[in-house]
Amino acid sequence: MRLEKVSIADVPIRGKRVFIRVDFNVPLDKQRHVTDDTRIRASLPTIEYAMAEGAKVILASHLGRPGGKVDPRYTLKPVAARLSELLGKTAALADDCVGPAVEAAVGRMHQGDVLLLENLRFHAEEEQNAPVFARQLAQLADVYVNDAFGTAHRAHASTEGMTKFLPTAAAGLLMQAELSHLGRLLATPAHPAIAILGGAKVSDKIGLISNLLPKLDRLLIGGGMAYTFLVAQGVPVGKSLVEADKVDAARDILAKAAALGVMIQLPEDHVIAERLEARATTRIVPRGGIPEGWMGVDIGPRTVEAFIRAIDAARTVVWNGPMGVFEIAPFAHGTNSVAMAVASSQATTIVGGGDSVAAVNQAGVAERISHISTGGGAFLELLEGRELPGVAALTDKPGAES
Ligand code: AMP
């Protein structure tokens, strides 16, 4: 799959109806207020660019899981309100995302206007990628733009189907930034290149490790997934999280890394506890020192130091997954330390996945990361080397190499 795509900046859009698929699937509180507007802010550069260029800007998103029917709990009304505040201009909300009334509303738009369509998932046809529905969406527009990297791993009508009915499918500025950073990481990372992986499960990361390993100089593994690797090396881990059915896969990865000359760096020491509770007594033990009845809840101080040294020496760093049970403050030290080290690094740094992004935000160092991916599943699938339907559907940049 080529990642060099035509960008919104490459396409004439003045006076055109520009349909921008955004990811406004934001969290709401009980009063239906937007509690975190990060995803709305992330697409502002694309929206403001299109407005400034004199396009008629039609925005479309899903929100939650209304199950293919109209459900007022999932209206985009609160999003339209927040978007209007951020733009300093009213973003009108259409009653629906397709049909004659929406077409009429689009027909009344002037250059620079913004119209937010109602939740795409009020129609089951969106997730079914039904061609009739996709064609109805396409009828609203002259130019298609996708800025919703977070949903690019889904072949839905608004991310894939409708592109077949329009001459050009361009990447928005956010999508473009994702593709160029992740594309460079996959194709020509500056060396030494390291990945830091953590989180609960090895099973979620096997595809990613297999694809990334040949491009890396070093792979740092922390978090719950480290214990399955330690078991594969014959190291006792007490009652730490282990995926027994993935020990063989971990052993294969260790062998593959050795064959490729890639160093896999596992924890040298651990913070352990008897229970997953903030008040639980903790101890620090070296590798192999976790007693029966105790579990690893964070990487230990020597591991933190070793990981920081590896990060400092790297020229490319990609990080996904926490180093411990970071939701519990006393077990968050390893994750926070990695966040700080990644932020302080001179390397090109890429952070993806909800928990690591949260850790970087919590540490207040987000602006010092080269690229924070907005895609959870899409980020992992792209790094696994899989084709993302929403990216594959975009028009290739002329002359781009695959
Ligand atoms: P993932 O979704 O696979 O990235 O995993 C994230 C989750 O892994 C977080 O909720 C962490 O609490 C959890 N986690 C990280 N380290 C450990 C550990 N040592 N034991 C149990 N869970 C862990």
Q: Is 389 in the pocket of ligand 1 (CB under 6 A)?
A: no
Whether 183 sits among the annotated catalytic residues: the reply is no
Whether 201 sits among the annotated catalytic residues: the reply is yes
Pick the catalytic residue from 2, 184, 201, 368: 201
141: left (phi over 0), alpha (psi -120 to 50) or beta: beta
Q: Is 327 in the pocket of ligand 1 (CB under 6 A)?
A: yes
Please report, rounded to a whole number, the percentage of residues in the chain having pLDDT higher than 90.
Answer: 94
CA separation (Å) from 293 to 229, 275, 330? 19, 9, 19
Q: Is 375 in the pocket of ligand 1 (CB under 6 A)?
A: no
Residue 402 has pLDDT above 70, yes or no: no
Structure tokens belonging to residue 391: 């990216």
Q: Is 86 in the pocket of ligand 1 (CB under 6 A)?
A: no
| Best residue for ligand 1 mutational test, from 204, 241, 243 (most atoms within 8 Å of Cβ) | 241
Q: Is 325 in the pocket of ligand 1 (CB under 6 A)?
A: yes
Pick the catalytic residue from 39, 56, 82, 246: 39
% helix, strand, coil for the chain, step of 5: 40, 15, 45
* Residue at 112: amino acid letter: G
Whether 39 sits among the annotated catalytic residues: the reply is yes
pLDDT at 1: 87
Confidence of residue 375 (pLDDT cuts 50, 70, 90): confident
Whether 377 sits among the annotated catalytic residues: the reply is yes
Q: Is 340 in the pocket of ligand 1 (CB under 6 A)?
A: no
- Which pLDDT tens digit goes with each residue over 85-131? 999 999 999 999 999 999 999 999 999 999 999 999 999 999 999 99
Confidence of residue 399 (pLDDT cuts 50, 70, 90): confident
Q: Which of 131-135, 140-144, 375-379 has the lowest mean pLDDT?
A: 375-379
Contacts of 143 (CB under 8 A, 6+ apart): 11, 13, 16, 17, 18, 19, 55, 166, 168, 170
**326 CA to middle of ligand 1, Å?**
8
**231 CA to middle of ligand 1, Å?**
17
Provide the CB-side half-sphere exposure for 106 (13 A, CA). Answer: 27
Residue ranges of the alpha helices (H) in 191-332? 206-212, 225-232, 247-260, 301-313
Structure tokens belonging to residue 12: 């004439």
- Which pLDDT tens digit goes with each residue over 30-74? 999 999 998 999 999 999 999 999 999 999 999 999 999 999 999
Strand partners, 273: 282, 295
Q: Is 296 in the pocket of ligand 1 (CB under 6 A)?
A: yes
